Structures are given as structure tokens and as C-alpha cells.
Amino acid sequence: MSLGSVMSSNIRSFQESDQVVSKDMVAIANKQRIQDFFFHRVTQAFSLLVLMALLGIIISLFVNAWPTFQKFGFHFLAHVEWDIVNEDFGAAIAIVGTVASATIALLIAVPLAFGVAVFLTETCPVWLRRPLGTSIELLAAVPSIIYGMFGLFVFAPLFADYIQVPLQKILGGMPLVGFLFGGATNGMGILAAGIVLAFMVLPFVAAVMRDVFEITPPILRESAYGLGCTTWEVVRQVVLPYTQKGVIGGIMLGLGRALGETMAVTFVIGNANRMPTSLFSPGTSIASVLANEFGEAEALHFSTLFALGFLLFVITFVVLAMAKMMILRAEKAKGN
Amino acid sequence: MKMNQQLYLKRRITSLLGLAFSMTAMAIGLAVLLWILYVLFSNGLSALDGHLLTSDTPAPGTEGGGLRNAIVGSLMIVGLTVLVATPIGILAGIYLTEYGDESKTAELTRFVTDIMLSAPSIVLGLFVYAIAVATVGNFSGYAGSLALSLIAVPVIMRTTENMLRLVPGSLREAAFALGAPRWKVSTFITLRAAKSGVMTGLLLAVARISGETAPLLFTALNNQFFSTNMGAPMANLPVVIFQFAMSPYDNWVRLAWAGALLITFTVLVLNILARVFFREKVSA
């Protein structure tokens, strides 16, 4: 950095012209240089801790998961079996549950988050923007275990009576899609977990969308209004194309959250190690298998859970990294 | 020139429908927040009594009981986490702003930190189990704090960095011109100028970790009895809520609600405090 180099060259010139600067001052300057050196290295070491933690996570999960990878190989990913007694494991059931519940969550949360962001940036009266924005952020702060309890005790019973039963009556007999609505209607299952997750992910996605919508230069918006566009046209044809990357980044951030969420899912997904056959059937996700079974796991079961954790970490890491890159690119477009 | 009335009407209706949808979405968001708060208060208040703070978590099948051990355990685990994570997070944040502008490592660190902010917390629990529980041989409060630190450090680091960036460069230059060494400028000048912003980051970090359940499941575990020994398994609110909410006993479920109310209330108050802090800084 420029300032630092100016400083150090000053110190060097002090030492060369001993007549002007006293010995004491040189001593002080030298002492300060040593202090600065240590300060630099210490702060650097702390910031590198994060990288070391990342490496540590990947290595330790992989090492602990190795027996499972060695025994099942790539077949592990597609194998539909979870037999603790005979030590025959596959990740397919948990992967399907994780991906299905996260997909359902996004299908519900993304349109809603888009609506919230549009409301906060376009139509909301200015004096209401702050309180309403804060309340959405507070929704993001509610711990996930609270969403889980809410889902189990409040949402699931209502969901069973007012959504599952009517849906099954209307759509259950239909050809092609009827099977999606079969099974027991006790409020638990993949769809219920997806909806509870949607509530949880909604504020994260909405917050990112709102932030990138605000990046749109006012002049673009005003030009569009000047041409006679309606508010909706401005949003769809000016704001959305301009902020596309950031919006996709926000959605992927939500996806990353939804894939890795433990508590909100564990309470309502039903925790059954069977391949789900309908939207109502109970299933399981990687995170909830870990939460439920890790306590009493031994030997191969133990290392299989690490293998699942490793998979989950790699998947969410890739999703979050892509999200981050999209958001960064959107911010660069703003000219930061 | 004649306006195409039909087209105009169609556009206006589309716009109106779109805005109506966005208002509905906002209403749903608010309704969910209020609904959750209502549920928490209506279920949790009934369990809030004197016993909550004076008795420990009840054994299966016994009546009554409170959350004393869990509250104390949570406070200790979160407290230790804050003690460890605050200096690390702040110093790392200083590095990223004051030294890390051009280096590739700093850029990578920033990127990884942002990802760690959203990484699945249960995997962090697995990691800490592998390095601090399996090696030592028992679950412990220390392991719980370590797991929570993995979440708190990135939060503190990134907010510190963002707040330090808001400090005008002229302030740094003025200090350098007076001959202050770099470490003094970073700690006594810029960090002090960004104090309330850094406080915001701390409060948000505490709020974030106080409700985290998944990383504590395999690290601090739980303890039915009162214990202040951090080298042993320790009761803590989130894990107690998790176990009690899924249990068949009525008094356990009631205690779970009381704990849930307590945690949510704390987290929301911390969040609001953080915002007040930051707003004061901006207006000052």
C-alpha cells in the first residue's frame, strides 16, 4: 500500500541523515516497525484461520467418511437402501429428500420474495420502508429450531386438515399426477417440510433481491416511467433485466440455506428412511439423518454419516460459491 | 393520435395485478412473523414461572421442573464463544481492510468467509466432533463453544471489515502524518471510529449463535443436571428445546415452549439493539 511504503522510505532517510534526526527517534521508528510487522502477521494469521477451518472441515470429513466411500464407491450416491443392521447404506434417499424439500421451498419462496422486494423498493411509502424492511430481517433472525417447532405443533395439524385432505380429494384420483397426493395425511412429509423451509428462506432471498433492486440507477427507472411504462413494466423490463445476476445469486443463496437446514426440516419431514413416493409421504434429508442418528452411530454407520455430511458440505459449498460470484458480479456492474 | 384504449387497459390491469401480488407477498411475510410470535407467546407465557429459573430440567416422568441448567449452560457456552471469537474476528477484519486490499489471499479469505456464513451448521458440528470430541473422548462445553465460534468469527469479521471501510481515509492519513505506527492507527483510530458498527456486528453474532441448535448436538450434547464444568457435557437451551419438543411428556413440551420464547425474545431484542446502535452511528 502506498502509505506504508512512504512511511518506510521516510524511516530509511532518517537513518541516513543522522545530523537532523536524533538516535532516539530512529530507535522509536525501528521499534514501531517491528511492532507493525508483528501486528501485520498476527492479524494475517487470524484471517487465515478461516481458510484453515475450511480445509480442516473438508479433510476431516473426508478422512472419517473414507471407509464408506471405499466400500460403496460411486454407487453410494445412487443406492436406495438404508439398512443399519446389515450395514448396507446408500445416500439416494437422503439426497432425494434434501433436494425435493429445498426445491419445493424455493418454488414457494422465490415468487413471494420477489413480491416482497418489489413492494419494498417500488410501492411502499418511504416512511414504511424501514419498519417493514426490518421486520423481514427479523423474520430471518428467528432461530431455525423455532420454525421447526412452529411447523410441528401449529403448521402440520392445520396443513393436514385444510390442505392435504382437500388436495387428496380433488387431485388424488387424477391420472398421471394423482400419485403425488397419495399416502397418509398427517401433516408431515416432504411437502410440509418444503413449505416450512419456504417461510425460513423467504426473508434471505427477499433481502438480497431488495438490495440489488436498489442498485438499479434511478435514471433508468425514471426514463422508463417517462416513456409511459406502468410500475409492473418497469420492474419486469428494466429493474429485473438489470439486476438479473444479483437476483439469481439471491435465489442460489436461498437454495444453499435450504439444502443445509437441519432443525426446520427435522421436525416436519417425518424422518423415514424410505424413498418418498408422493409429496405427502414422509422422507428424510441429509441434515436430519445426521441430527437423528449420529448420537448412536457406530462403525460403518458412523463413517456413512460423515460421508453424508461431506456430500452436503460439498453441494452447499458449490451452490453458495456460485451465488456469491453472481452477487459480486451484480455489484461490480454498479461500478464499485 | 388515438390511444389504443384496450391495450392501455390491459397494461394497467397487469400492473395492478402485479402490485396486488407483491402486496400480498409482503402481507404473507408479515403474517408469518406475527403468527410465529403469537404462537410463541401464547404457548410460552403459560410456562414462565418462578420454577423456570430456579429448578433444573426434569427427569422423564417427573412433574414440574425448569430450565436453570440449560440457561446457565447456554450463557456460558455463548459467553466463551464471544470471548474467543471477538478478538479473532476483529483482528481478522482489520487485516482485510488495512492490509488486504490487493492480495489474492485476502480476496479468497473474504470469499470463503461469506460462504462460511451460510454453510450448513450441522456439518460444522460434525467437524468439531471429529477434532474436539472424538480425540478427547467426551462431549464438552468447550467443543460447543468451538463449533459456535466457527459461525461467530465470520459474522464478526465481515461486519468489522465493512464498518472499517466506512471510516474516511483522511482520518487514517492524518494519523499517519502525525507519525503514528500502523498498528496504532488501526486500533486506536479507525477501530475506535467504527466502534458502534463493530458493536453491531458483535450483537448480530451473539444473536446468530444463541439460537443455533445443530452445531451443539454433537459437541456440547446435553446434561440433565446443573453443571458449570465446561470440560464435560453441558445443558444448553437449543438442544433441550429440541429434545423436549419431540418428547411425549406434557411438562417437557411446555418447557420447550418456554425455552423457545426465551431464545426468540433474546435474539429479536439483540437484533433490534444492533439496529439502534448502527442507526445512532449513522445519524451522529
Choose from B12, B16, B112, B118 for mutation: most chain A CBs within 10 A. Answer: B118
Is B29 close to A112, i.e. CB distance below 8 A?
yes
Q: What are B152-196's pLDDT values in tens digits?
A: 999 999 999 999 998 998 999 999 999 889 899 999 999 999 988
End-to-end Cα separation, chain B, in angstroms: 55
Cβ within 8 Å, pair B238-A294: no
Distance from the Cα of B38 to chain A's closest Cα (Å) equals 11
Residue of A62, A142, A240 to mutate for B, most B C-beta atoms under 10 A? A142
Lookup: cell for B133 = 470430541
Q: Does the distance separating the beta carbons of A139 and B33 come in below 8 Å?
A: yes
* Residue B100 to residue A123, Cβ atoms within 8 A: no
Residue A3's pLDDT band, with cuts at 50, 70 and 90, is very low
Q: Which of residues 195-254 of B touch A (CB under 8 A)?
A: 207-208, 210-214, 217-218, 238, 241-242, 245-246
Instruction: Give the mean pLDDT of A159-177.
Output: 83
Question: For A193-252, what is each residue's pLDDT tens digit?
Answer: 999 999 999 999 999 999 899 888 999 999 999 999 999 999 999 999 999 888 999 999
Q: Which residues pair with A89 in a beta bridge?
A: A82
The count of CB pairs under 8 A between chains A and B is 269
Query: Radius of gyration of chain A from Cα atoms?
Result: 27
- B257 pLDDT above the threshold of 50: yes
CA distance B82 to chain A (A): 15
CB–CB of B121 and A262 under 8 A?
yes
Nearest to A116 among B25, B93, B120 (CB): B25
Per-chain mean pLDDT for chain B: 90
pLDDT (0 to 100) of residue B1: 62
Q: How confident is the model at residue B282 (pLDDT cuts 50, 70, 90)?
A: low
DSSP A230: -
Instruction: Evaluate if residue A41 carries a pLDDT over 70.
Output: yes
Choose the closest CB to A135 out of B33, B129, B176.
B33
Nearest chain A residue (CA) to B205: A141
Do A147 and B36 make contact, defined as CB atoms within 8 angstroms? Answer: yes
Over 60: is that where the pLDDT of A12 sits? no
CA dist A288 and A257 (Å) reads 14
Backbone angles phi, psi at A186, to 5 degrees: -105, 10
Task: Report ipTM (2 d.p.).
Answer: 0.91
Is B115 in Cβ contact with A317 (below 8 Å)? yes
Report chain B residues whose CB lies below 8 A from the CB of A203: 29
Assess whether pLDDT exceeds 80 at residue A267: yes
Nearest by CB: A47 against B109, B116, B275: B109
Beta-carbon separation of B26 and A119 below 8 A: yes
Contact A294 B218 (CB under 8 A): yes
Between B11, B241, B271, which is nearest A233 by CB? B11
Task: Using alpha carbons, list the distances in angstroms from residue A146 to A150, A154, A180, B33, B116.
Answer: 6, 11, 29, 11, 22
Q: Which of A44, A63, A253 sits opposite B95 (nearest CB)?
A: A44
Helix, strand, coil percent values for chain A (each to nearest 5): 80, 0, 20
Reduced DSSP (H G I as helix, E B as strand, rest coil) percent helix, strand, coil of chain B, to 5: 75, 0, 25
Beta carbons of B92 and A43 less than 8 Å apart: yes
Comparing C-alpha atoms, which of B172, B187, B178 is closest to residue A3? B172
- Cα separation, A205 vs A209, in Å, equals 6
Q: Which of B105, B119, B275 lies nearest to residue A134, judging by beta carbons?
A: B275
pLDDT class of B66 with cuts at 50, 70, 90: confident
Q: Annotate A117-136 with DSSP letters as a single string.
A: HHIIIIIS-HHHHHHHHHHH
| Mean per-residue pLDDT, A278-293 | 90
Using DSSP's 3-state secondary structure scheme, residue A89 falls into strand
Instruction: Kindly report the nearest CA distance between residue A176 and chain B, in angstroms.
Output: 30
How far apart are the C-alpha atoms of A155 and A189, rounded to whole Å?
A: 12
**B59 pLDDT more than 80:** yes
